[in-house]
Amino acid sequence: MPEDAVAEPPRTIEDLRALALSVGRDEAGFSLGSKAHDVFAKLVEAPEQSAVRTISELADQFGINPSTLTRLAKRLGFEGFSDFQAVFRKAIANDQQYFYSRQAGRLMTTPSAGGAEVEVFEQLARETAANVDGFLGQLDAASLKGATRLLAGARRVRVHGVRQFHSLASFLTYCLGMVRSDVALLDAPRLGVAEALSQLEPGDVVIIASCAPYTRSVAEVGRVAAANGQSVIAITDSRSSPLVPPAEHAFFIPHASSFYSNSMGAYVVFCEALLNLVARELGDKALNSLAGRERLIAEMNIEVG
């Protein structure tokens, strides 16, 4: 065992995921190279694949040599890759837990009875279902509870995402603003993110969202916000994401699909569920906010939608 390897290797998938987060935040007591950390994060995010594929198949998937996986396993304190892989095999031993992943896999290999045009929709629907199943398998109840309480109780909430994630940020801002006050896109005044961050106070919440290939400016917003005392919530795709280190709570949403860009379907499902948790946490405050909105709409004769 290498001198700086983990003394007692993690024996559950939950512990492996926690270790991957700690490594990314420089809290593990040892370091991994960026490539090794990225591979580690991807392994723990898809245990159903890590459990059944050979070391050669996984190496090909990640574009590395099999020996790299062996070295990673030993660096994490395992005797070798087989010992490491046993954790993943134990995690999926409960068949019911990964029922939907297997179902999605079967559907992926079943030819569609419809025309080519319909098949495009069917394939994306199956892929989105698999991505949703992927994030469900990684959800942490304590982190969800913590993020929910922050979003319900903070004085201000600001949301930041660019490119495709600007639409997700807008969706989150609009829907969260339906049940509580002082929610906005970070750069809504168009004064620049630096100016927007300078107007926030400790205890305010900043949500950042991005996935590979990451936008560096979004990760930088998270870093600056955390340094200024804001609570950062990251919605991203991997424990190796640059959005993770400054985040108090981070959530990991897969986006693999046949869509020519990053698939957003699973992200929307996650956000809708998180918003439901916040509304439930707010209770009567959320109901009163929604009722007040409805009254205003009726008075102004505005169409809802």
Q: What is the mean pLDDT of residues 203-214?
A: 94
Report the DSSP pairing between strands 183-185 and 231-236. unpaired
Torsion of CA 13, 17, 19, 20, to 10 degrees: 130
Residue where one domain finishes, among candidates 76, 93, 110: 93
Per-residue model confidence as pLDDT tens digits over 122-139: 888 989 999 999 899 889
146 and 89 assigned to the same domain:
no
User: Could you tell me if residue 282 is inside a domain?
Assistant: yes
| pLDDT tens-digit map of 73-95 | 999 999 999 999 999 888 876 54
Q: Give residue 95's pLDDT.
A: 46
Percentage of residues in the chain having pLDDT higher than 90: 60
| Residue 131 domain flag | no
- Asked if residue 201 and residue 67 are part of one domain, the reply reads no
CATH number of residue 170's parent domain: 3.40.50.10490
Q: Is residue 234 part of a domain?
A: yes
Residues 89 and 181 in one domain: no
* Residue-level pLDDT at 100: 47
89 and 157 housed in the same domain: no
User: How sure is the predictor about 46, in pLDDT bands with cuts at 50, 70 and 90?
Assistant: confident
CA distance 32 to 20: 10
In a domain, 105, yes or no: no
Residues 201 and 289 in one domain: yes
Domain boundary among 93, 116, 146: 93
- Domain with residue 24: its CATH number is 1.10.10.10
The residue with greater pLDDT, 188 or 187, is: 187
Q: For residue 160, what pLDDT is reported?
A: 97
The pTM (predicted TM-score) of the whole model is 0.75
Residue 107: per-residue pLDDT: 47
- Distance from C-alpha of 56 to C-alpha of 59, rounded to nearest angstrom: 5
In a domain, 55, yes or no: yes
119 falls within a domain: no
69 and 163, same domain (yes or no)? no
Mean pLDDT of 197-223: 94
Question: Average pLDDT for residues 227-236, to the nearest whole number?
Answer: 97
Tell me, yes or no, whether 104 lies in a domain: no
Query: CA 236 to CA 168: how far, in whole Å?
Result: 12
d(CA 182, CA 154) in angstroms, rounded, equals 9
Q: Say yes or no: 208 and 145 in one domain.
A: yes
Question: Are 247 and 176 in a shared domain?
Answer: yes
How many structural domains comprise the chain?
Answer: 2
Q: Whole domain around residue 156: which residue ranges? A: 138-300
What is the mean pLDDT of the segment spanning 162-181? Answer: 95
In a domain, 27, yes or no: yes
Helix, strand, or coil (residue 242): coil
pLDDT score for 5? 60
Is there a single domain that holds both residue 209 and residue 274?
yes
Is the CB of residue 210 less than 8 Å from the CB of residue 236? yes
Same domain, 164 and 259: yes
Bridge partners for 184 per DSSP:
158
Amino acid identity, residue 8?
E
Q: Is 200:160 a contact under the CB 8 Å cutoff?
A: no
Q: What mean pLDDT, rounded, does the chain reach?
A: 87
Confidence at residue 231, expressed as pLDDT on a 0 to 100 scale: 97
258 and 164 in a common domain: yes
C-alpha–C-alpha distance, residues 289 and 286, integer Å = 5
Q: How confident is the model at residue 257 (pLDDT cuts 50, 70, 90)?
A: confident
Last residue of a domain, one of 68, 93, 118: 93
219 and 154 both lie in a single domain: yes
* Per-residue model confidence (pLDDT) at position 192: 83
